Amino acid sequence: MLSPDPSPFSGLTRRRVLIDGGRGVVLLALLGAASTACGSSPPPEPDPLEQQVELARHDSEMAAAAAKAAPPALAPALTEVAAERARHATALADEVARVAGKPTATTTTTSPATTSAAPAPPPTVADVVAALRSSGDSATTLAPTLSGYRAGLLGSIAASCVTAYTVGLPSGKAGQ
């Protein structure tokens, strides 16, 4: 003896769907929409390294601008910080692209539109030191939440930022 079909659609046959006409089409449309909705996944969360890329780019731009206005004795150190943070941005962007399965995108920064307001004064060594301190703290906080290469990359960047502002640059009080 056959047991009854436990399916909620046990009385639903192709013939009944075709005979019932509109109701069957509506039911099939609903079932199709429900199966499509169940198969979709939420959008992926942003990569935590994206913020680190932006911090590195910002620090690089700030150090380069500060180097242009700094006394000749400080300009080489600020130029090196700018170059180092640019390399950090590149390494981080490459890692974000690798994890996303996308080719590495070369990004160019554009200067902001010129306005009629007076230009902002160039950043000082103290501004660069504060930015490096903030970036180093951010990388130090994020590194333990990651693993493998990504954790090591952030640990290295954190150490580099701390070294730059404690060894490579004066406290920001001298030479201003």
- Asked whether the predicted pLDDT for residue 18 surpasses 60, the reply is no
The amino acid at residue 66 is A
Between 114 and 81, whose confidence is greater? 81
pLDDT of residue 46: 87
Residue 33: C-alpha distances to residues 39, 43, 46, 53, 141 (Å): 10, 19, 28, 40, 43
Over pLDDT 90: what percentage of the chain? Answer: 57
pLDDT for 78: 97
Residue 67 or residue 4, greater confidence: 67
Q: For 32, how many CA atoms within 13 A lie in the half-sphere containing its CB?
A: 6
Confidence (pTM): 0.67
Give the pLDDT score at 110: 46
| 155: pLDDT strictly greater than 50 | yes
Per-residue pLDDT tens for 115-127?
567 788 999 999 9
Q: What is the DSSP string of 62-86?
A: HHHHHHHHS-TTTHHHHHHHHHHHH
Query: Does residue 65 surpass a pLDDT of 50?
Result: yes
Structure tokens at 139: 């990388």
